[in-house]
Amino acid sequence: MRRILIAATYLVCVPLANYVIGHVGTVCIPQGPCLVPVGFGLNAPSGVLIVGAALVLRDMVQRVAGASWALAAVAVGCALSWLVADPHIAIASAAAFAVSELADFAVYTPLQRRGLIAAVVASACVGAVVDSVAFLWLAFGSLDYLAGQVVGKMWAALAAVPVIYGARRIAGSATP
């Protein structure tokens, strides 16, 4: 039951991020993304915090359900991204999602045995950069919001650390 709940939460991030990027923000650029401030004077497309959470949740799917569930969730996430995104964003979103989640998987998998928190943070860093570069370039042909994208995703990953730590203390080290 727990693995289904975590996988479902992860998958909800995909359509939510795709919806938010076009509809929610402090400013919405015509034919472009809606933006939110992420600190340090930077703005980012508004789906950034949700994508940051998805990078961490993918790690949790793998931790609780195993690598095969995590890879299956990435595949379903790519399909959802394709189905729910605006046509202009669909290819960029699905491609960036697939590449970044696989990069996240490649970093998290070997590191998780050494320490869960370090693995989550390291894989989120890699996933955040890969996702940001791929999405911004493919969707908008520009890396103008790259710094904001990475900062926003890192805020989401850092916010997850105390949650993961607390959950591990309550449930024991075998769970996230």
CATH number of domain containing 21: 1.10.1760
The pLDDT value given to residue 175: 46
- Number of domains forming the structure of the chain: 1
CA 75/CA 13 separation, integer angstroms: 14
The pLDDT value given to residue 163: 77
Single-letter amino acid code for the residue at 134? A
In a domain, 153, yes or no: yes
Give tens-digit pLDDT for 32-62: 789 999 999 999 989 888 888 888 888 888 8
Bridge partners, 34 (sequence order): 28
In a domain, 70, yes or no: yes
CA 12/CA 30 separation, integer angstroms: 26
CA 176/CA 167 separation, integer angstroms: 6
In a domain, 176, yes or no: no
The pLDDT value given to residue 33: 85
Pull the structure tokens for residue 44: 């980012």
Mean pLDDT of 127-137: 92
147: exposed, middle or buried (C-beta count within 10 Å: 0-12, 13-18, 19+)? middle
Q: Which domain holds residue 43?
A: 2-171
